[in-house]
Amino acid sequence: MNCRDNINQADKPLEDALLNDWHVVATSEEVVPGKLVPATLFDRDLVIWRDSEGQAYVWEDLCIHRGARLSKGFIQSDRVVCPYHGWNYDGTAQCVLMPASPNEKPMKKAKAIPHHVKEAYGFIWACMGEPAQDIPEFPEWDDPSYKKVVCGPYEFKSGYRAVENFIDPTHFPFVHAGVNGIMDQPDPIGAYDVYEENGILSSSEVQVTQPYGDPREVPVTAFYAYKCLRPLVAYFKKRLIISDPERASEGSPDDRFCTFLTVQQVSETRSIVRICCAMNFSPQPSDADVRRRQDLVYAQDSEIVDTQRPERIPVDLRMELHHRTDLLGQKYRMWLRNMGVSYGTV
């Protein structure tokens, strides 16, 4: 049994579907050399830092000596220094100096508790168990024709309800009236397909009308194709057709707007959403324009989503009422249940 196993047994064990998966705990920009960044994931307190070579680390926020929070300390010569007794931990998480006994080699057990870490798509990812698979794929990230903008963080209560909201176009005319939909003329949602393949839940396209459908501030007919990549990672690719005849020439049949959504589930009833938007249309909006629109939309979302009860999402479909237009949400809840996800659910 390794250190991470011990940590997982300290409290209520985290199910394998979450423990052995990758989760975003910060954006790359948040973690700079010389700075200790505290974070919490599934009620576990973490510390994130970066060395002078740019390598990122995610550890338990715990000094093995007397249990002080390492995040209250500082970084010196690429070592994390505990604020209590000054124990120095290097990039391997090994203690290499005990100031009260500077000439004594620290014992092998004098180690911080490291977690697996990767950096991708402008995010820092951590796995607190043993990774069962790689981080989810974001196909537009390496495509130079797409502009990418990281947005957030956005606070929600349930991360699962935030994901379900993200894959639900039927709320657009009411939560995002005048932006993603028209309240007086809500779109009838036609039948669409949902299928699971290679562990990913996907939908066929869903058509909606959007008066301000992307950062160009132009009315569009949008066709959303969704994917649930992991319990707390989702994605859509939106095909765009400019609906104003006088501005139709500004668009192209190849215009796409994509969003890659990640959730850091802090506790069972608190989460942090971070997204990366990718778009290939021209002229491309500024980063500020993209973030301004996303900030608006996610503030509108959280204001309503956070009123939902129970705060922990029901995975028993009998607990709430469902309609055929909720098909992807229903499948998402069944998908969570079938994976054995219990943290943050009822």
What 3-state class would DSSP assign to 190? coil
**Closest to 161 measured CA to CA, from 55, 225, 232:** 232
pLDDT at residue number 278:
98
Of residues 105, 112, 119, 116, the one with CA closest to residue 28: 119
**Per-residue confidence at 6, pLDDT binned at 50, 70, 90?**
low
Give the model confidence (pLDDT) of 155-191 as tens digits. 999 999 999 999 999 999 999 998 899 999 999 999 9
- Per residue in 269-320, pLDDT tens? 999 999 999 999 988 899 999 999 999 999 999 999 999 999 999 999 999 9
pLDDT at 246 over 90: no
Query: Residue 236 sits in a domain of what CATH number?
Result: 3.90.380.10
Last residue of a domain, one of 127, 153, 173: 127
Q: Which residue has the higher pLDDT, 212 or 173?
A: 173
What are the beta bridge partners of residue 238?
224, 257
Residue 263 has pLDDT above 90, yes or no: yes
Q: How far apart are CA 277 and CA 236, in angstroms?
A: 10
- What confidence score (pLDDT) does residue 297 get? 97
Q: Judge whether 161 and 148 are in contact, CB under 8 Å.
A: no
Are 178 and 318 within one domain? yes
Contact 234, 226 (CB under 8 A): yes
- Do 98 and 164 fall within a single domain? no
Burial of 317 (C-beta count, 10 Å sphere; 0-12/13-18/19+) = middle
What average pLDDT does range 81-91 have in this prediction?
98
Q: Mapping DSSP to helix (H, G, I), strand (E, B) and coil, where does residue 319 land?
A: helix
Whole-number Cα distances in Å, 28 to 31, 285, 293 = 6, 22, 22
User: Kind of pairing, strands 37-41 and 44-50?
Assistant: antiparallel
Question: 1: pLDDT confidence band, cut at 50, 70 and 90?
Answer: very low
Q: Which of 88, 205, 158 is nearest to 344 (CA)?
A: 158
Q: Are residues 113 and 178 in the same domain?
A: no
C-alpha–C-alpha distance, residues 71 and 81, integer Å: 9
Is residue 214 within 8 A of residue 223, CB to CB? The reply is no
Task: Say if residue 48 is in the same domain as residue 173.
Answer: no
Q: Can you say whether residue 109 is alpha, beta or left, with left for phi > 0 and alpha for psi between -120 and 50 degrees?
A: alpha
Q: Count up the domains in the chain and report the number.
A: 2
- Check residue 185 and report its DSSP letter: S
Q: Identify the residue whose tokens are 């192209």.
A: 252
Angle ∠(301,304,305) on CA atoms, nearest 5: 75
Helix (H) or strand (E) holding 276: strand 270-279
In a domain, 291, yes or no: yes
Whether residue 123 is found in the same domain as residue 186: no
Q: Is the model's pLDDT at 11 over the cut of 90?
A: no
Angle of the 327-338 helix axis to the 159-166 helix axis, nearest 10:
140
Asked if residue 289 is part of any domain, the answer here is yes
Q: % helix / strand / coil in the chain, to the nearest 5?
A: 25, 35, 45
- Say whether both 264 and 329 belong to one domain: yes
What are the residues whose beta carbons fall under 8 Å from the beta carbon of 30, sequence distance 6 or more? 37, 48, 124
Per-residue model confidence as pLDDT tens digits over 46-83: 999 999 999 999 999 999 999 999 999 999 999 999 99
DSSP class of residue 181 equals B
pLDDT digits (tens, 9 = 90+) for 315-343: 999 999 999 999 999 999 999 999 999 99
Task: Report the alpha-carbon distance of residue 6 to residue 182 in Å, rounded.
Answer: 52
Instruction: Among 127, 162, 182, give the residue marking a domain's end.
Output: 127
Tokens 């509108």, located at residue: 300
Residue 303 within a domain: yes
Mean pLDDT (the chain) is 95
Q: Which residue has the higher pLDDT, 212 or 86?
A: 86
For residue 233, the cross-strand partners are 230, 262
* Euclidean distance between the first and the last CA atom of the chain, given in angstroms as a whole number: 30
Residue range of the domain that includes 94: 3-127
% of the chain beyond a pLDDT of 70: 97
